Every structure is written in structure tokens, then in C-alpha cells.
Chain A
Amino acid sequence: MRILLGGLILAGGIWAQPVVAPTPEPAGSARGDNAGPYNITNSFEIGYRFKDVDGNTGKYRSDVNFGNGIRLLSGTMGVHTRDGKGKFFDELLLDLRGLGNDPYQFSSFRMQKNSLYRYDMMWRENEYFNPALTISGGQHLLSTSRKLQDHDLVLLPQSKLKFRMGYSRNSQGGPGLWTGQWFDGRGDEYSYFANVRREQNEYRVGGDLDIGRVKLTVMRGWEFFKDDTNFGRNTPTPGANTSDRNTLSSLRRDEPMHGSTPYWRAHLHSQLSRQFSVHGRFTHSSGRRDFLFDEFASGTDRLGAARNRQILVSGTGTRPVTTGHFTVSLQPDQKWSFANQTGYHQARMEGNGRYGELNNGTVGLELVSFEHLGIRNVSNTSDASWQPLKQAGVFGSFHVSERRIRSNQLEDIAPIRAGAPIEQTNRNKAGIFGVRLQPTGPLRILFSAEVGRNDKPFYPTSDKDYTAYVGRVSYRTKKYQLSSDFRTFNNTNSTSLFVHSSEGRTWAGAGTWSPRTNVQFDAGYSYQHLNTLTGLAYFADFNLVESSKSYYLTNLHTIHAGGQVQIRKRADVYAGFVRTQDRADGRRTPDAGSRANVVSDPSTIALLTGAQVFPVSFQSPLARVSVVIRNNLRWNFGWQYYDYREKFLSFQDYSAHTGYVSLSYSF
């Protein structure tokens, strides 16, 4: 017997079609097959992906990374008992995406037996590629695979006493390219290979106890992590600077790091009445890592003298972290709502290490280091909301926090001398006031403003005196869905001789229109503006330049549009377009900045004007045809084009055709 499940799997509309595959249209009406007490639904899409890249392949792999080959583009399966009383399980859910070598693979699985157990699993794999870009991020290449998995089992999920256990694993492996200097800080830079091997395993066990109006949740966990990446370079190759005499003939580096973070988490919730609830949360973790660094390098220094150097470092780092939150919520009636939360967070990072260096067989340096960085943050937030009318309501919030930072850094020959920690305190006060309106059913308006004051920010670019405004308007009916929002954020962080200011403005609007059941359109536009001005100090040709400023400007325009038409229930055609462009200040070359005058030292203009802006465009049109072959079988074809263009330099530019052809089937 088959059961029609027309409402269960529907076309997801045309919201967000950033990647052309998998095909969102279901292969006919989803059906279910009965087997014993179970009803089974299944759908999957298998196809072939293809790509054709012109230009910088490394950049394409960084941004997109889809390749050629057969893929299980998507798959779902659901098995349910119709009476909720299966022998071994009552529900089984499987969701798959991109299996078979897509760079972004995902699967989730759930199996549960009502009242007895619930098991959830999630597995993900990301083929990460970051090219050795010479601008913007250094020269480090990574071509690694990161695998994430989470397993959670709950026993007696519907009872007053539940037991929980879980396991998570996060691993990263693959080749990488690092850079560094040897023998002298004024020498040359060399790249060297790394075999990345990182791993994290977490085990956890706990339970929930629900007595009356009180629920207690406790979790005990142990996290183990290690990094056994090793590095090497055995063949002499020239460095980045070919004009000096510095050479690196051989390099061996082992840098194992192993550690663990055992932790406790406890949570107490009490719903004393419909109007009043309290909850408390406590966590403590005591992270520790032991590390060893062993490096041997040989070559010549910048004066041409033969050098061999061995460095041995060993030590321990610890980071106990304790947090607590206590929240009281009060809802005297449907119009009023109050909440107050007090938060406590303390992290104490400490470590010590012994550094030993041998140069040409003789002891060159021996140091002992001790480091302490302590952060304690106590905060209190009060929130209130009042909805006097169905059409209008207001809300407000006041937040106050005090952060104390203690720091102690020592480096000396053993035995280490005692040092006095440096302590600073930062107080923050911030308030929010907002209004929400619903003049008519489908129309909603929200506006909020936030003002914050920090008396001693930690960094020149940190929030100090800031204001933020947020507004949203939405109008939603079955045919139309329109929404628009804006957001501004202005921050000024200044001292007597220094100023950092940033102004950010975002405006976005989007809408969907469904004139008929078989026709949908969707379009949107977003504008994001940011300009920051910050004082700089640096050395140029051994002269300290203190009067320069870093001016950064971005004017980012993003537009997306899409339309979908269903033709006589036989075929679906979708076409869409996404374009992102940073127009910056409109300049076409790096040395013609309209705001070059903000840099007061003429000798530094060439250095900074190129960094003021980064005009670039990234666009991606796509189209897809999906044809019904049989009631539960579709043939799909899609194409997506990517085009990346920088204004100042072109060696990272690329264009790429990607696409797929597939069959999707369901029952």
C-alpha cells in the first residue's frame, strides 16, 4: 500500500539557490511503501558533475571547488511506524548530500524508539583548498580534508530520568605549505612543506532529571586533542629574496602537541509557574596541553657564514575556564515580559616553557618562559518587553559588564624571577530600545537602537563609544513576500593622540512573488558600506612613521534574482543570477585613491593607497531544467557559471563553467 505524502516533501520555493545542484524539485509526489508496521519513503538524486575552469584554478578551488565525477547529489529516507510501537525502532531518518567526492559532503542519521532511545549522527567532510595567495593572507597553502562527526544517544528520552552519551570527532589532514625565516630576522623567507595531522575526540556522558517543576541536566565530558603535523625540507631551494646570501639547505621540524580538556556542565531550570521561571547554568573545563618543538636547520646566514641550528622547546599550557549564568524570567501577563541574566566568565591561561638553542654545536640561547593571561567578565542584562496593543509594542534592555584582564609575561634564564602582573579593568554600559509595529496582519515593522560605552577598550579597533540602529519591515502574504532591513553601526575609539572610527551601513531588500502556483519569482538587493579610519605607526627605511592613517572603504553591492516556471507539470525551468561587487570608491588603479589625502605622510601614500580599497566582482548566473519522465522519476540538467574579477590585479581572476546532469527518483 502506498500513501501519498504530498505535503511532506514540497518544492522548497526558490529562496536561496546559490549552488545549482542538488535539484530542489521532488521527483513527483513523494510516496511511501509499507513494509510490516513501517512506512518507508525514499528519494535520491544521482548525477554527474562537470567543470571547466579558465584562469586561476587555485582561486576557483578556494571559492567553489566543485569537480568532475559521479555524485549522490542528495538522498533522503524516512522509515516510520504507523502505530508508534515498532519492535526495534519507530523512526529512522537519513539525509545525504554530495556523497562521492563533492567537496562538501553531509549526512545525518536519526534512529529512535519511542520512550526507549534516540540516536543522532551527523557526518561532514570538507575538502578545503586555500591557494598560496601572495596578497591578503600570506603565502600559506592548505589542501586538507576536514572530517566532522557527532554521535548522540539519549536513553529513556521521554522519561523523567534520561541518560545521555555522545562522541564527537574532528580531524584534519593533508598537505600544506608554510613559510618562515631562519638564522636571522633580516634574512630570507622560505617555504616548507607540512603534513597536517590534527585530531580531536570528545566523549561525554550525562543525564536529565525532571522532578516536578525542576529539571537538572548534568554533562561530564572529556576532550582529547593532538596535532602531530610534521614539517620538512631536505633539498636546498632559493628563498623569496634572491639578492641575499642567506640559504636554507635542510630543515626538519617535529612539533607534537597533545592535550585534553575535561569538563563539567550543569544546568538547572525551574518553571515555578507560567509566569515565573529561573535557570542557572554552570560550566567548568580545565584544558591542558603538553608540547614539544624540535627543529634542526642548516644553511648560511645573511653574511654567508655556514650555520646549523637546533631548537628544542618543551612545556605546558593550561586554560581552566569557569562560567556561570543565572536568569530570572517573569511574565505577569501577556503584555509584559521581564528577564534578568547575570553572567560570569573566567578564563585563566597559564603556561611555561623551556627554550634551548644550539648554534653550530654550541649553546646559543637558553630561556625559560612563563605566561599568564586571565580574563574575568561579570555581566548583568535586564530585558523588558511591553505589548499594550496587538499593533504595537516596545522593548528595552540594559547591559552592564566589568571585565578584568590580568597579564604576566616573563622570559629569563632559569631560575625565573618573580614578576608582578599587570591588571586592567574595563566597564561597559549599553542600552537598547526598540519598537515593533504590526499595523495590519501581513505588515510588520521593527526598529531598535543601541548605545554603548566602554571606558577602556582593549584594542585600538575595539568597540568604545558605539551606536547601532536596526530596522526591519516585512510584508508577507501567500502571493507576495517582501522584506527590507537596514543596519548601521558607528564606533569611535579614541585617546588623546589616536583615533579609530568606523561607520558601517547595511541596507537590504528582497521579495518573492508567486502569481500562480506554477510560477515564482524572487529578487533582492543588498548594499553594505564600511569605512574605517585608524592611526598607524610603522617603520619605513628605519624611520618611524607615526602620522599615517589606514583608511579602508568598501561599498559592496549584491543582487540576486531568480525565476521558476513549471510547464504543464512536465518540466520545471529555473534561471537565476547572483552578483556581488565591491565598487569601493570607484577607482580603477591602486594609486588613484580619492581619499589619499587622509594619509598625511607623502612617503607612505604608495604603501597605503593600495590597501584602502579592494574593488572586485564575483558573479554567478545559473539555470536548471528538470523534466518529469515518469511520475516518480525526473531528469535534471543544470549549469552554473562563476566569474571572479579584481580591478587592480588580474592574476587571481578566473571564470568557470560548472554543471551537472542527473536522475532523481522517489517513492
Chain B
Amino acid sequence: MGLRIILGLSFGAATAIWAQAPPAKDSSPFAGSNSCRPCHPAQALQFYRNPHFKSTVAANLPPEDTGCEGCHGAGKKHIAAGGGKATIGRAFSLLEPAQVLDTCLRCHSKDVNRTNIRRSSHTQANVVCTSCHSVHTPQSPKALLAKKQPDTCYGCHNEVRAQFAQPFKHRVNEGFMSCSDCHNPHGGNSAVSKTGHRPRMIEAGLQNEQPCMKCHTDKRGPFLFEHAATRVDGCEICHSPHGSMNTRLLKRPVVFTVCLECHNGAGSFGRQSDGVPTQSASHNMADPRYRNCTTCHVRIHGSNSDRTFLR
């Protein structure tokens, strides 16, 4: 009984608030948001917590950009028909992916981080706004995600979930960081490291560099002696960013193979186009002392005082 009273009072309060929305003209196909409440109380009661509620409060937006009809389209026909998905302008469960995208981008296209959404891998795969976001039952109040990160991403990216289950990993599962710290799910600009297509969904760092540098600022430089590997082909030439069975997210279990696979003098590779230098004869690889390259080459990401990264 108490619950019913609470609901009733709440409903009444919400009705009074929503009545402030500008009334629609009779000739208009728009009915105004307060017309939706009687049949959709669950959505209406919570809507003041929703970022889209601002459109109702603003009172200076045209009806096609205001409240429920801002997203769902004109509602008079829907009301006259007594409901039904087919009678509302935009019932999202019936929309094609491209239509969903068009609807949301009416307002959100101009944001800087969504400018590549039309060419993003998600859009190519028909993964559009409602695949990840839930406007009415969000699990994250800011981004209106249907599930919290990283569960939203793991829903499709099973292999990435497995990578974060390894002993060495970035602390995404622990809640310290999230997928969107490094990735832009709405699409990134063309790659700045490597030269190919991939990766396409990266959120670049300050100097349009790999997102790793946003936190690992000590690896950014500028250094007098740059390890060209990090600048030309990026961190992934040595590291697996999601997770690894190897310490420090390295691609190999022992460090000397990470180094020697490039430092073999072969071909026309490297900075001088004459092969990446082989180590000197004093490096006796038969002696285990010399197999931990970074024991001596401590400044492997770049150094200010030594060309070979010794200090």
C-alpha cells in the first residue's frame, strides 16, 4: 500500500513538472512529452535523471528536439492509434542500424570524439548506438551504457576478455581504468604509428601519439636519444597492451628474444637503412649475464645521456 502511495505521489509530482514543457500546437504532429506519461510511467518517472531531460527543461528547442519526441518522433498519431510501435515515428527496436545512427547523430554528430563514427569499425559491423547504450535503463549514468564497461565491450570481444584474464594486464577488470581510456568506440582517426589500417579505434594521446603515453608519461620524451622502435612502430612492437603471460606485458617470455629479433643486422631495416645493429662481440650470449639486456640498457624507451640507453 505504501509503495502505491509513493508511486502515486511521485507520478503526480512528475506530472506537475512535465506540464511545464511547451504545449504543442494543434496543427502540429507533436503531442508534447507529458502526453506520453500515462502509458509509459516507468520511463517518465526516471526521466529527470537522464541527460536528455535537459531538452525538456531548456524550453527553447523546437518540438522535434524536445523530450520523448526528440528521439522517438512525433507522437500524435501514436496516441490516436492507442499505441503500437508501428505508429510512432521512431521505435528503436524497429529501426535499421543506419536509422538509429542517423537519429542519434542529429544532435551528437558535432562532438569531437564522434566525428569518425561513420567510418568506424563498429558502424561497418552494424554496431550502432543502441547496441551499447540504453537511454532508459542505463547502468552508467554518464554515458548511458546498457552495461558497465568493460562488460559492454566483452559482450562481443570475447578474446579481449581472455587477454585481461592473464597474470600481467592493465587493471580494467579491477575498475582502475576502462576500455575507453585507450579506445574510442565511436572511431578514431587514421593510425599514427605503423602505416596500415589497424588499429582504427584508438583514442590518441596528447601529441597524437599512442594512448599508452597518456599515463606512461615518463616513456614519452622527448629524449635526446630516442629508441626509434617506440616512435615509428609504436609500443606494440614489444608489448601486448591488453594482457600477457609475460612480465611487463612483453611479447616474449625472455627479454633477449624481444631485442634480438630486431637487432640482427639483417636487410635494409632500421634507422640507418642498413639493418638494426647487432650487439658487439663483448655480449657473450652463451653467458646468462648477457641475456637480460635491460639490466644494462636500463633506459630502453629513450635516454638523454647515452646513445645505447645505458643511463
Contacts and interface: CB of A to CB of B under 8 A. Distances in A.
A495 interface: yes
A178 interface: yes
Nearest to B98: A334
A508 B158 contact: yes
B269 A460 contact: yes
Contacts of B281: 539, 542, 544
Interface string A495-539: 111101000001011100000000000001010100010111111
Given A12-B147, A381-B190, A498-B267, A319 B207 contact: yes
A174 interface: no
A407 B271 contact: yes
A98 interface: yes
B224 interface: yes
Nearest to B48: A82
Interface in A292-313: 293, 295, 311, 313
A90 B7 CA distance: 22
A5 interface: yes
Given A110-B142, A483-B155, A552-B252, A198 B217 contact: yes
Interface string B234-275: 000100000001111010111111001110111111111100
Given A124-B177, A341-B119, A446-B125, A407 B255 contact: no
A473 to B, nearest CB: 11
Nearest to B151: A15
Interface in B20-49: 20, 42, 45-46, 48-49
A516 B222 CA distance: 58
Contact of B158 (A257, A377, A484, A644): A484
B130 interface: no
Nearest to B232: A458
Interface stretch (A46-54, A347-355, A657-665): A347-355
B156 A472 contact: yes
Contact of A114 (B57, B177, B196): B57
B283 A539 contact: yes
Contact of B226 (A124, A371, A430, A498): A371
A170 B212 CA distance: 13
B20 A139 contact: no
Given A373-B231, A461-B261, A93 B175 contact: no
Interface stretch (A180-188, A358-366, A563-571): A180-188
Nearest to B3: A4
A251 B243 CA distance: 37
B87 interface: no
Nearest to A394: B124
A97 B222 contact: no
B159 A506 contact: yes
B289 A349 contact: no
A505 B78 CA distance: 51
B151 A12 contact: yes
B81 interface: no
A136 B173 contact: no
B207 A285 contact: yes
B102 to A, nearest CB: 7
A508 B159 contact: yes
Contacts of B231: 347, 349, 373, 375
A180 B311 contact: yes
Nearest to B252: A552
Contact of A459 (B119, B162, B176, B229): B229
A381 B305 CA distance: 40
A317 B168 contact: no
A249 interface: no
Contacts of A552: 252, 257
Contacts of B102: 274, 331, 334
B197 A381 contact: yes
B158 A422 contact: no
A179 B295 contact: yes
A318 B291 CA distance: 33
B276 A104 contact: no
A500 B261 contact: yes
B165 A1 contact: no
A18 B284 contact: no
Contact of B233 (A347, A351, A379, A459): A459
Contact of B224 (A341, A351, A472): A351
Given A334-B98, A539-B281, A136 B255 contact: yes
Contacts of B283: 538-539
Contact of A580 (B151, B221, B245, B257): B245
B91 interface: no
Contact of A12 (B45, B148, B208, B225): B148
Contacts of B157: 485
A560 B154 CA distance: 13
Nearest to A138: B294
A115 to B, nearest CB: 7
A505 to B, nearest CB: 10
Interface size class of A (residues with CB under 8 A): 35 or more
A495 B266 contact: yes
A657 to B, nearest CB: 17
A339 interface: yes
B13 A82 contact: yes
Contact of B119 (A97, A146, A329): A329
B167 interface: yes
Contacts of B119: 327, 329, 339, 341, 381, 383
B155 A15 contact: yes
Interface in B183-203: 189-192, 194-198
A432 B120 CA distance: 13
Nearest to B42: A7
Nearest to A450: B197
A459 B196 contact: no
Nearest to A372: B226
Contact of A540 (B158, B206, B286): B286
A485 B247 contact: no
A285 to B, nearest CB: 5
A281 interface: yes
A349 B136 CA distance: 49
B137 A189 contact: no
A233 interface: no
A395 B118 CA distance: 12
B248 A454 contact: no
A7 B109 CA distance: 28
A123 to B, nearest CB: 11
A657 B42 CA distance: 43
Give the residue among A137, A291, A373, A497 with the most B Cβ atoms within 10 A.
A137
A446 B293 CA distance: 43
A248 to B, nearest CB: 14
A10 interface: yes
Nearest to B293: A138
Contact of B6 (A1, A13, A510): A1
Given A12-B151, A172-B218, A383-B124, A611 B58 contact: no
A540 B57 contact: no
Contacts of A554: 245
B246 to A, nearest CB: 6
Given A345-B208, A618-B166, 18 more contacts: A16-B161, A78-B49, A91-B49, A124-B177, A140-B298, A178-B298, A180-B295, A269-B110, A277-B109, A335-B98, A341-B189, A373-B231, A438-B126, A498-B264, A534-B264, A554-B245, A578-B165, A607-B286
Interface of B: 3, 6-7, 9-10, 13-14, 17, 20, 42, 45-46, 48-49, 53-54, 56-58, 96-99, 102, 109-110, 112, 115-116, 118-119, 123-126, 136-139, 141-142, 147-148, 150-151, 154-159, 161-168, 171, 173-177, 189-192, 194-198, 206-209, 215, 217-218, 220-226, 228-229, 231-233, 237, 245-248, 250, 252-257, 260-262, 264-273, 276, 278-286, 289, 291-296, 298, 304-305, 307, 310-311
Q: Which 5 pairs show the lowest CB-CB distances between chains A and B?
A: A84-B57, A614-B253, A526-B162, A508-B158, A495-B267
13 contacts: A12-B147, A18-B165, A19-B173, A138-B255, A181-B296, A349-B221, A349-B231, A351-B304, A459-B229, A509-B158, A528-B162, A537-B278, A618-B166
